[in-house]
Structure 1
Amino acid sequence: MRTTSLGGLQVSRIGLGVMGMSAFYTGAGRDDAASIRTVQRAVDLGATHLDTAEAYGPYVNEELLGRAISGRRDQVVVATKFGLVSHTGRPGPDSTPANIRAAVEGSLRRLGTDRIDLYYQHRVDPGTPVEDTVGALGELVAAGKVRHIGLSEAASATIRRAHAVHPVAAVQTEYSLWTRDVEADVLPALRELGIGLVPYAPLGHGFLTGGIRSLDGLDANDWRRTNPRFTGGNLARNLRIVDGVSGVAAEVGATPAQVALAWLLAQGEGIAPIPGTRRADRLEENTAADGLRLTGAQITRLNELAPASGERHAAADMAAVDR
């Protein structure tokens, strides 16, 4: 697996999102032993950029990752997030310095480590100036508890304010062939500032794999059952995107998931997607995309696919992004 730089932090070009092993998706929490084996297989394959958050569960996903990397800590890049869980009793998102100081201690304990390689603000806290948040994160860097800091789903103006206080290594946001909003303002700002981009849901929450053509088979509590792009007729309309990706996949002898990831990697250096899966076979499929090369004509065809129908999140969740 080749590597790329996120603001000076070297990571595998394809990582692993651990969230779905514990929360939100069909099968979450059913077989922790298999999930741990998948994380360990990721390390074996060089997909050593591992992403979690205290809010996933909450807490249990960090604990799972901690067990998975026990004895292999120095082989991996551990990323986690704070701010959606308040340890101070404050309602709503909490990125106050006091909450950050409490949150980091819990994450370190659950992960079984003495440092976090990449520590993100999970969502921008409108009640706390980002300068105060980043100032507290800078203190954690100075103390050696955090190596690099990041933001998630932040607007370009917020990213600039944060980076002026302390270098931001990476911004995490949804980015894929069916979610390209980042290209308008955020990605140009990241390029200018030398900040990396970590696309989450790079396979469109599984949609771009081609394996979801209806909601049949999804757990009753699967998050996608309430997502606008999977409901109200949008799922059927969005199949045209999958069909376009599948056409390119057939040409190159790859899977739709591999083509979707190869398209992301073709967008330039400093982009490190973190597809999530509980299954080792899917992990192996995803990591193989690092070796797939698309032609200029194929990339153009993918670029010209129609935008997805429906918002990428429900209204309440959309209100928390791009702030």
Structure 2
Amino acid sequence: MSMETLVIEGIPFPVSRIALGTWAIGGWMWGGPDDRKAIATIHEALDLGITLIDTAPVYGFGHSEEVVGQALAGRRDKVAIATKVGLDWKDGKPFRNATPARIRTEIEDSLRRLRTDRIDLYQVHWPDPSVPIDETARELERLHREGKVLALGVSNFSVAQMEQFRAVAPLAAVQPPYNVFEREIESDILPWSVRHGLAVLAYGPLCRGLLSGRMTADTVFGVDDLRSADPKFHAPRFAQYLAAVTALQDFARQRFNRSVLALAIRWVLDQGPTIALWGARKPEQIAGIDQAIGWTLSADDKAEIDRILARHITDPVGPEFMAPPGG
């Protein structure tokens, strides 16, 4: 089955609609890194047809970018690299910093770690309330003109913030959290992106592993694991979400003979000009991509998914816990 692709304006080739997300590869908030498995994971993703890799400086405080750069040696021109800008850190704690000076420092650090002369998609990681958006956008537009960046994007921005950015610099993509459980963008960001021709890079399409189908009520998360701070993974909500996943798994098997993981990715891909960021840190975690492509969900299928969620999740919660503090 050939990979589905999508055009992001500014990138010279269509990119795969499933991208590899590398937050966990950095190790921070995911129990530490394993570079050998991480590089094998990236190579496996490329072999399966993935041509877009998403990373960020804050993922392991530079470590994820370094691993991506190492893994792409000899294959750089066949892959689009998406990374981010606008987060700083001190003593292992990230905070927002989207000043022009920080942007200039970050671009050079990212280029060095990624072993490349340009970033295909450069995204503001979080809006910085202490820096005017037009100031951030203007500096990024300079990088775009200089050829260090081929396309610009934003992550975790509201529609109003994207309008401000777009008034100063070309905007090709937005990256919000989006999965069958976390759907806030459907009211504004997704339709706005459709109207303005933006690609939507959906992060967390498997909801931090919840939709992988591998978790049980006995699954435990360490204190250095992101999920230990996510209300979905604590009682009483964890039981509700696990029940929904079980029901979705039954639906996926009976209706399509596919896994709940494939169903979750397919659902994201069927929502619009979307790209699903499939996060993985081990080669086996990237298995099953072929099950997610080459088919679609009908309106009746989507309605049944909504009924399953309503039946099992009585106390839903969004991804708000992930927001870092301002500078």
Q: Could you tell me whether the CA contact under 8 Å between 1:79 and 1:117 is conserved in 2?
A: yes
Q: Could you tell me whether the CA contact under 8 Å between 2:176 and 2:201 is conserved in 1?
A: yes
| Distance apart, 1:243 and its partner CA | 2.4
Which amino acid in 2 is paired with 1:274?
A: L
Specify which of 237, 258, 262 is matched with residue 258 of structure 1.
262
Q: Could you tell me whether the CA contact under 8 Å between 1:178 and 1:308 is conserved in 2?
A: no
Moved more, 275-284 or 258-267: 275-284
Q: 1:254-297, CA deviations, whole angstroms, 9 ceiling, x for partnerless residues?
A: 110000001111112x2001110122233131353112433332
User: Secondary structure at 1:291's aligned position in 2?
Assistant: coil
Map 1:130-169 → 2, pairs under 5 A: 130-169=133-172
User: Secondary structure at 1:6's aligned position in 2?
Assistant: coil
Q: 1:183-228, CA deviations, whole angstroms, 9 ceiling, x for partnerless residues?
A: 0111111112111100111001000122112353433421111211
Taking the aligned partners of 2:163 and 2:17, their CA distance within structure 1 comes to 25
Which amino acid in 2 is paired with 1:95?
A: A
Q: Does 1:309 align with 2:315?
A: yes
Q: Note closer, same or farther for the CA distance 1:128–1:36 as it changes in structure 2 (3 Å cut).
A: same
| Distance apart, 1:92 and its partner CA | 3.8
Which amino acid in 2 is paired with 1:102?
A: T
Corresponding residue for 2:24?
Answer: 20
Specify which of 179, 183, 190 is matched with residue 182 of structure 2.
179
Taking the aligned partners of 1:273 and 1:299, their CA distance within structure 2 comes to 17
Q: Could you tell me whether the CA contact under 8 Å between 1:229 and 1:309 is conserved in 2?
A: no
Map 1:1-323 → 2, pairs under 5 A: 1-7=3-9, 9=11, 10-24=14-28, 26-29=30-33, 31-85=34-88, 92-214=95-217, 216-251=219-254, 252-268=256-272, 270-304=273-307, 305-306=309-310, 309-313=315-319, 315=321, 317-318=322-323
Which amino acid in 2 is paired with 1:110?
A: R
Which amino acid in 1 is paired with 2:262?
A: Q
Moved more, 57-66 or 221-230: 221-230
Q: Note closer, same or farther for the CA distance 1:225–1:214 as it changes in structure 2 (3 Å cut).
A: farther
Q: Note closer, same or farther for the CA distance 1:25–1:99 as it changes in structure 2 (3 Å cut).
A: closer
Moved more, 139-148 or 292-301: 292-301
Taking the aligned partners of 1:121 and 1:279, their CA distance within structure 2 comes to 27
Question: TM-score normalized by structure 2?
Answer: 0.90
Q: Note closer, same or farther for the CA distance 1:287–1:167 as it changes in structure 2 (3 Å cut).
A: farther
Q: Could you tell me whether the CA contact under 8 Å between 1:115 and 1:144 is conserved in 2?
A: yes
Taking the aligned partners of 1:99 and 1:25, their CA distance within structure 2 comes to 23
Percent identity between the two aligned chains: 35
Aligned residues: 315
Which amino acid in 2 is paired with 1:11?
A: V
Moved more, 116-125 or 158-167: 158-167
Question: TM-score normalized by structure 1?
Answer: 0.91
Q: 1:35-81, CA deviations, whole angstroms, 9 ceiling, x for partnerless residues?
A: 10110111111111101100111001100100010110001010111
RMSD: 2.1
| Distance apart, 1:319 and its partner CA | 7.4
| Distance apart, 1:312 and its partner CA | 3.0
Taking the aligned partners of 1:318 and 1:94, their CA distance within structure 2 comes to 13
Q: Note closer, same or farther for the CA distance 1:213–1:152 as it changes in structure 2 (3 Å cut).
A: same
Taking the aligned partners of 2:238 and 2:168, their CA distance within structure 1 comes to 42
Which amino acid in 2 is paired with 1:22?
A: G
| Distance apart, 1:299 and its partner CA | 2.0
User: Secondary structure at 2:154's aligned position in 1?
Assistant: strand
User: Secondary structure at 2:153's aligned position in 1?
Assistant: strand
Q: 1:147-206, CA deviations, whole angstroms, 9 ceiling, x for partnerless residues?
A: 111111001100111112111111111100000000011111111211110011100100
Taking the aligned partners of 1:308 and 1:14, their CA distance within structure 2 comes to 31
Q: Could you tell me whether the CA contact under 8 Å between 1:124 and 1:320 is conserved in 2?
A: no
| Distance apart, 1:86 and its partner CA | 6.0
Which amino acid in 2 is paired with 1:61?
A: S
| Distance apart, 1:318 and its partner CA | 4.5
Which amino acid in 2 is paired with 1:188?
A: P
